[in-house]
Amino acid sequence: MSSYPGMRLLRVTMLVFGCVLMVGASEAQQSNTSAQLDVQSGSTQPAPVAPQAQAPPTDSQAPTVITLKDAIDRARKLDVTYRTALTAAGVAREDHVQARAALLPSVNYNAQYLYTEGTGLAVTASGDTRYIANNGVHEYISQGNAHEVISGTQFADYSRTAATAAAARANAEVAARGLVATVVKTYYAEVVARRKYANAQLAADEAKRFFDLTQKLEQGGEVAHSDVIKAQLTANDTQRALRDAQLQMDSSHLDLAVLVFPNFNQNFSTVDDLRLPPPLPPMQEVEQQARAKNPELYAAMQAARAAGLAVLAAKAAYLPALTLDYFYGIDANQFALYTNTPEGRVHNLGYSASATLNIPIWNWGATQSKVRQSELQRDQAQLELSAAQRKLIAELKSFYAEAESARIQLDVLRQSADLAAESVRLTNLRYQAGEATALEVVDAQNSLISARNNYDDGEARYRLAIANLQTLTGNF
């Protein structure tokens, strides 16, 4: 007779009504006891309430809400690896500017005074001096100098620095895309950790409700004590899982704070946009973008080109170099525009020009050693270019397969989560009707939490797979 559904419902109703009466009587007794204590203490005022501790000003402020784009922009200002790559690109660009300036004439101003020891007597008209290293006892130089050097090494260095600057810019783009993938991984790890904490909280609440239900049914003689024990063990496990989920959530929150805030700000929240996954282009389109926009391959190509130009620059040291100088100004015994002589007034301003051809003959094999050194570097750069090409093909296929697999699994994971939720609902109804065991209820609850966590991980996996793929192709 105890298994009859109507009788079971009647017993549960009477049990709940008895619990309500007991709670009401307990509250009334506590109220009377509190009133008696107030009368005995001689006070008719209610007991003072302890003031709550005020939070720090930073905690009382509304948290900063950041999106994925905000996190990427903030990380670009703080990431050391990315800023190092930008610095290297800037240095390479300035090297190219300096190489270009070396091809153009330079203009300098020279101001010089030369004193020579005389004979001790009056200087004759011929300018006799004891020490004749200079053009006179007193010589003043104030002139401009246009200087130009023409050599094959300079032209080769100009082309080499252009290729080096291009390779440095490509490496900076590689660092930027790698940083985006890192931010995506950390950002969505924080989002998924919050989701898993919510799932753990839901599991703990559901386990507590089931534990209360088994206790009531045991008091009514509907279930055995073993169901209560199983429910209590499940509730304990869910509480432990809840604490672990909170720890993981706090840890992921700190990881993101280190990445995007310069002052280690923890008062922020992220936008959960995992429900809006980006589309995956066809493989043919991805291959075209990888060939045209892959920075690693472009950096390897420019590095090989720069190494080849370095060999050309080293070989250019065998060729002659031409130096041209043009001087205009004063080079006289008096610092003046004019000099008065017995023969008349002499104009001190003048100009001179010189051309020097420097032909290398012998330097103990230094030039030959530099050529061999640059050839070794060229061969290494070509080897790295070949490796970069093979690596691009392998990573492209691997990353695309990962993204496609994650995208396909999203539908299955979503369906599994919906089915698990429905299974929990039906199993609870069957258990209340006496048609299911406590073990089935616990298994259904665990399956629901596992399915939801797997779905959250699947969404984050797909986002990370897209970010890794875009390191090779750029945004699509």
Evaluate whether 438 touches 230 at the Cβ level (below 8 Å): yes
Domain ranges of the chain: 156-319+394-476
Other C-beta atoms within 10 Å of 374: how many? 20
Distance from the first to the final alpha carbon of the chain: 68
323 beta partners? 149, 356
Q: What is the pLDDT of residue 334?
A: 81
Evaluate whether 291 touches 473 at the Cβ level (below 8 Å): no
- Burial tier of 363 (Cβ tally within 10 Å: 0-12, 13-18, 19+): exposed
Q: What is the pLDDT of residue 337?
A: 85
* Cα(437)–Cα(452) distance, integer angstroms: 23
Q: What is the pLDDT of residue 277?
A: 86
* Cα(99)–Cα(131) distance, integer angstroms: 43
pTM for the model: 0.76
* Cα(37)–Cα(383) distance, integer angstroms: 90
* Cα(230)–Cα(210) distance, integer angstroms: 10
Residue type, 298: Y
Evaluate whether 354 touches 287 at the Cβ level (below 8 Å): no
* Cα(372)–Cα(317) distance, integer angstroms: 13
Residue with token string 């610095």: 87
* Cα(460)–Cα(405) distance, integer angstroms: 13
Structure tokens at 275: 């429900």
For domain 156-319+394-476, say whether CATH 1.10.10.10 is its number: no
* Cα(373)–Cα(165) distance, integer angstroms: 21
pLDDT tens over the chain, length 476 residues: 334 344 444 443 444 444 434 434 444 444 443 333 232 333 333 333 333 333 344 445 788 999 999 999 999 999 999 999 999 999 999 999 999 999 999 999 999 888 877 655 444 445 444 555 667 778 888 999 999 999 999 999 999 999 999 999 999 999 999 999 999 999 999 999 999 999 999 999 999 999 999 999 888 888 889 999 999 999 999 999 999 999 999 999 999 999 999 998 899 999 999 988 889 999 999 999 999 999 999 999 999 999 999 999 999 999 999 999 999 999 888 888 888 877 778 888 899 999 999 999 999 999 999 999 999 999 999 999 999 999 999 999 999 999 999 999 999 999 999 999 999 999 999 998 888 899 999 999 999 999 999 999 999 999 999 999 999 999 98
Non-local CB neighbours of 211 within 8 Å, separated by 6+ positions: 228, 231, 232, 234, 235
Q: Kindly report the length of the chain.
A: 476
